[in-house]
Amino acid sequence: MSTLGHLINGQTVVNAQRTQPVYNPATGQAHKQVALADKATVESAIAAAHQAFPAWRDTPPAKRARVMFRFKELLEQNAERICQLIGEEHGKISHDAAGELQRGIENVEYACGAPELLKGEHSRNVGPNIDSWSEFQPLGVVAGITPFNFPVMVPLWMIPMALVCGNCFVLKPSERDPGATLYIAQLLHEAGLPAGVLNVVNGDKEAVDTLLHDARVQAVSFVGSTPIAEHIYRTATANGKRCQALGGAKNHAIVLPDADLDNAVNSLLGAAFGSSGERCMALSVAVAVGDAVADALVEKLHVAMQGLTFGVYSESSNDFGPLITRQHKDKVVGYITSAERQGAHLVVDGRDARVPGYEEGFFVGATLIDRVTPAMDSYQAEIFGPVLQVMRVATMEQAMQLINDHEYGNGTCIYTRDGEAARYFSDRIQVGMVGINVPLPVPVAAHSFGGWKRSLFGDLHAYGPDGVRFYTKRKTITQRWPSAHIREGAEFSMPTMK
C-alpha cells in the first residue's frame, strides 16, 4: 500500500510514524495511506516558508503572476489525472470533479491579475508639497486548513491569492482525500514556484494545533464544520493571528406559488443531490409557500427522482457518488431515521442504496422528506448528504422567518416570477449569498464567498477582493520634501489643510 507524505521545501517527505488509511468510498476499501505529521514536521514546513518569505516578498507581482499563468496551463493539461484522484478518494463523479477543478482554475485566473489587484492608492498634494499613498504588503507565513468535500477547489480559493500577494503558505488538507491536493501542489512547483513558498503537511489535530500556536504563522484560513470553525477562529485570534473560518450551512430554497415548478424541480435536484449533498452550498430544505405548491412540488420531485442514478466516479452517466466514509454514511442514515420517527413523511427513502459490484461502498440514495418541522433534529443539523427536506408555510414572510431564525446563514435562493418579491427577499434575508432562481449562488472568482451568522467567523470572505485584503496589510506613506530655501518653525497643533 502506497503512503502519501508531505511537501516541504520543495521535497516529498514521508514521515510514517503515524498513518491513516485513505479509502475509495465506492469500494469501501483502503487503497493507500497518508502519513500524519507530528509537531516537528509541521514546524519544519513553517520554517521553510519563513525562510523563503523575504525573497518571495521582494519578487515583483508580475513575476509571481507568471507562475500562476503557467500553473493554470498545467492544471488544464493534467485535468484528467486531477479528476481521477478526486474520484478515487472523494467519490465525486467525473463531471462533478471537472466542475470543481474549473471553479478552482477561475480563482487562479483572478490571481493572475496581481499587478492590478495590488496597486495602491495615491494622492498628490494632500498638504503643501505633501503626497500620500497606500501600499498592500504581504503578511508573511500564512496557513490554510481545507475540507474533504473540495480537495482541489478550496485550496485554490486560498493558495493562488496568498502567493501572488507575496506570502508563503503552509496547507493542511483533509487527511481523508489528500492525493489531489498534493498533486496540484507539485504542479505549482513545476510551474516555477520557488522551494519553500508552498508547503503541504498532512495530519490531524496535532498538525492543526501547531499551525494555530506557532508565532511565525500570521494568518489562518479555514473551511469546515461550524464547531471546528469557531474553535479555529477563537484559538487563532487568541494567538494574535488574522483568521477567516468558514463553517456549516443549512441552505433553504423558498418556492412561491408563481414559481416555474419544472425549473425549480430541476434546480433542486442538482443543488440537493449533486456531490451527494456534500457541499456547504447544497440546497437541503425547500420551503413551499402554500399546501398547493407543496403538494405539486413533492409530486414532481418524487417523479423526477426516479431517474436519478448514483455509483462510481468513472461512470459519467451517474448523477452522484458515495459519501466520504462509512461513519458519515451512518450519520446521514441516522438523520433520515430520526426525521421519520419524529413525524416527517418519508417520500423517497435512500437508506438501502446498493450499487452492483460495489456493495461495500458508502452509498446513500437520493432521499426526499416532506412535512419537516423546525423542531426536528434533521432540520436543525447540517446533514451533508443527499437528503432534501420539504417544509410547508402559509406566507413568504413565514418562510423568510424560518431562514432568518436559523443559526446558519450561508446560502439561500427563491423561486419566483415576481421581481418585487425577489427584491424584497434579497434585501431582507439574513444570509450571505443569495440566488434568485439560481440554486447554487456560489460567487464567481471576481467576487467573494462567505456566509453570515455562524457560517463565517471573521470579517473578510474568501477569495475575490476580500481575499486580497485578507492576505495583505495596508501601509500608508505620507511624504514631503521641504524646499532647501525655506525653514519652518515647529508646529504643535494637529496638522490640517485650513
Catalytically annotated residues: 280
Say whether 122 sits in a helix, a strand or coil: strand
Centre a 10 Å sphere on the Cβ of residue 33 and count the other Cβ atoms it contains. 16
Say how far apart CA 143 and CA 216 lie, in whole Å: 10
Residue 218 and residue 385: Cα distance in Å, rounded? 35
The greatest distance separating any two alpha carbons of the chain, rounded to the nearest whole angstrom, comes to: 91
Burial of 274 (0-12, 13-18, 19+ CB in 10 A): buried
Is residue 456 within 8 A of residue 281, CB to CB? The reply is no
Alpha carbon 467 to chain centroid, angstroms: 13
Are the beta carbons of 236 and 39 closer than 8 angstroms?
Answer: no
Place of cell 465525486: 92
Exposure letters 480-490 (e unless 16+ CB within 10 A, then b) = eeeeeeeeeee
From edge to edge, which strands make up the β-sheet containing 472-480?
Answer: 121-127, 130-138, 472-480
The grid coordinates listed for 300 are 414532481
* Rounded-to-integer distance, Cα 294 and Cα 309, Å: 25
